[in-house]
Amino acid sequence: MKLATFTHGGKTRIGKVVGDDIVDLAAADPSLPTEMIAFLKAGDAAMAAAEKASGSEIPLAEVTLEAPIMKPGKVMAIGLNYGDHVKESGLDTPENQIWFTKSPTGCVGEGADVLKPAVSDMVDWEAELVMVIGKRARNVPRERTHEIVAGYCCGNDISVRDWQFHSPQFTIGKSFDTHGPIGPWITTSDEVGDPHDLDIKCLVNGEVKQCSNTKHLIFDCFDQLAELTQVMTLEPGDIIFSGTPGGVGIAMQPPQFMKIGDEVTIEISKLGSITNTLVAEDTTTVIE
């Protein structure tokens, strides 16, 4: 099942993508929530109801796909988690998982503009498989971590490289607004099967920059979840970026960075693709 957050007729709600249409779930079954985190919190019963829901179809071409999780409670991301990316970074393979956070205000959806900050010209791409947490979880052994994943989507861990290295922690350079595109929808775990055999690509203006497979993860998805749940309680709707393969712009000779007008596409087999365009940010002061 493919679960999406969409806007149509000025209203944002959740739906199930079927072919070229999207089923408005709450319209098809009024017992279902209209917001994705509330839907995930409703658990297996809501999933089963969504599977059965029919009618109230809207052509996909008529809706705007939003980030599947518009306001995640946590966005966690792991660094240096593909061997070729470690090599191009000139670093040693990590013995432990390297974690940082991204700001929830980075989460935007398919087709959304990504902002080029006025303070940097070093905006880089990072194609990543994203896990969406479906159940509240703490201290989960590796062999059970698959139970807490609602599904997967494409992600771009956009990185402002000079700001990333302003501090020993990566967070500030990873947390600019709009710099965590995810989507186009959540493909549920049962439909994906093994998350460790998915082709993953990044294309900039149609040119392939990254091309790998999730089988090359150093710490796989379930290793990551076992580690995180020893530290924190994961909640429905939390987002986990699982690492990027080689081919990032900063590692190229000479380095390449995104320019205004560039279209960046992330493709992952079974999950679809997202494309976002870099535009200049509005530097107007906002105090509300």
C-alpha 125/C-alpha 106 separation (Å) is 14
pLDDT above 90 for 167: no
Give the Å distances, CA to CA, from 35 to 11, 14, 152: 11, 6, 17
- Count of alpha carbons within 13 Å of 251, Cβ hemisphere only? 19
Co-location of 22 and 148 in the same domain: no
Residue 286 counted as domain residue: no
192 and 230 in a single domain? The answer is yes
Do 60 and 81 share a domain, yes or no? no
Say yes or no: 169 and 236 in one domain. Answer: yes
pTM of the model: 0.97
- For residues 247 and 132, membership in a common domain is answered with yes
CATH number of the domain to which 35 belongs: 2.30.30.230
In a domain, 183, yes or no: yes
115 and 248 in a common domain:
yes
Q: How far apart are CA 185 and CA 151, in angstroms?
A: 9
- Number of domains composing the chain: 2
CA dist list (Å): 27 to 23, 56, 109: 8, 6, 22
Domain housing 26: 2-65
CATH no. for residue 191?
Answer: 3.90.850.10
Query: Do 206 and 151 belong to one domain?
Result: yes
pLDDT digits 0-9 by tens, 6-58: 999 999 999 999 999 999 999 999 999 999 999 999 999 999 999 999 989 99
